[in-house]
Amino acid sequence: MNIHCNKPMIASALAVATCLATGAAAAQERPNIMVILADDLGYTDLGVTGGEIDTPNLDSLAGSGMLFTNVAVAPSCSPTRSMLMSGTDAHLAGLGLMYEMPKAPNQLGQPGYIGHLNDSVVAFPAVLQAADYSTFMVGKWHLGMDEGYLPNDRGFDQSFVMGVGGSDHFALQKGVGPDRPISPYFDNGVPVEKLPEGFYSTDFYTDRMIEYLGDGSEEPFFAYVAYTSPHWPLQAPEDWIDRYAGRYDEGYEVLLEQRIESMTDLGLFPENAPINEFVVGGNQRPWDSLSDEEKARSSRSKEIYAAMVANLDWNIGRLIDHLKETGEYDNTLILFLSDNGPDEKDPRFIWGMFPEDVHSRTQNDPDSSTGNCGFRVAYSV
């Protein structure tokens, strides 16, 4: 099948799904579709795009398939997700801006900024559902939590999702802003009162999707795996935390040079291209000007981020292994992408948008000192 698309990220999944769902082929001849979405993943975070993080499963997928290098996304989470689900511009879908962000006067009350996937667009899982595809979703929804706008209302047979833009990755359900101190989760549209013991987002979402897929008898299927990793807060399972210890002690300027060199060798970056000044200016001070504690904090945050990405890759490997075990791998189109690049914001930026009196809700925050970074007791970037 040849699919021509000017905006691979936004429209390719919709084009594939529509072609498959409306085609004349018998159901057993139609391939399954699995869309895997990372949250705030950097372009060079994967080995196949020049990164130092171990991502063998994604590298293998890219090596045996097609790597898109000119992908259009929005600069933030829910606008991109609305385009992926609808195949339209984010404004037409009602999410020209994340609902959490302050609106300009000319945006208030306008249909392009209502903050949920509106009724003017058709979510393509509903198209597949109508064509007898089994449709499953796990992970971050971020497209509306009011009645009628959850995944089970927009074409998914089964779903377990986080409704908002971010949360603690463990079972605390700690939110990313004082307006929602507890992040809401939904199991097939029903609010989840308490996450299970041992919950870690990437591991749990993988477990649940494998449960949905079962023994392969639910074909053809559409599986939307919308991981929340590696979105902050930076947290990883304990046995992953120290796997990258010391890897980033030389500083971010050295890391930048290494990644650019790798990207250039791979043909993904032009020779002698200038480095954007913001990397060593603006929000980033020269590495040598940092104190020992600042260097330790920066290195530790990158170690945890790398652990999250490596764990993400490992879990994607689990999905691939399950497809192979059930005989569905060769009949499954797998699309992997990220909603946008890394978010440099400290959570304090979001909290700072609210009146000072609500900040008292953080007085009993877990210990997020450098030594605790990454563990379930911390909430850090």
C-alpha pair distances (Å), 283 with each of 181, 307, 344, 368: 27, 24, 9, 21
Task: Give the burial class of 208: count Cβ atoms within 10 A of its Cβ; 0-12 exposed, 13-18 middle, 19 or more buried.
Answer: buried
Phi-psi region of 136 (alpha: psi -120 to 50; beta: other; left: phi over 0): beta
Helices 292-325 and 252-265: crossing angle, nearest 10°? 40
Is 5 considered catalytic here? no
Using alpha carbons, select from 86, 149, 73 the residue that is nearest to residue 121. Answer: 86
| Furthest CA-CA distance within the chain | 65
Reduced to 3 states (helix: H, G, I; strand: E, B; else coil), residue 98 is: coil
DSSP conformation letters of 150-210: SGGGTT-SEEEEE-SS---SSTT-EEEETTEEE--EEETTEEPSSPPTT--HHHHHHHHHH
Which residue of the set 116, 142, 169, 322 is catalytic?
142
Q: Helix, strand, coil % (nearest 5) of the chain?
A: 40, 10, 50
Which residue of the set 77, 116, 169, 322 is catalytic?
77
Reduced to 3 states (helix: H, G, I; strand: E, B; else coil), residue 7 is: coil
Amino acid at 1: M
Q: Which residues contact 257 (CB under 8 A, 6 or more apart)?
A: none
Using alpha carbons, select from 129, 121, 375, 357 the residue that is nearest to residue 242. Answer: 375
Q: How far apart are CA 60 and CA 48, in angstroms?
A: 8
DSSP conformation letters of 214-279: TTTTT-SEEEEEE--TTSSS-B--GGGGGGGTTTTTT-HHHHHHHHHHHHHHTTSS-TTPPPPGGG
H-helix or E-strand spanning residue 19: helix 8-22
Catalytic residue positions? 77, 142
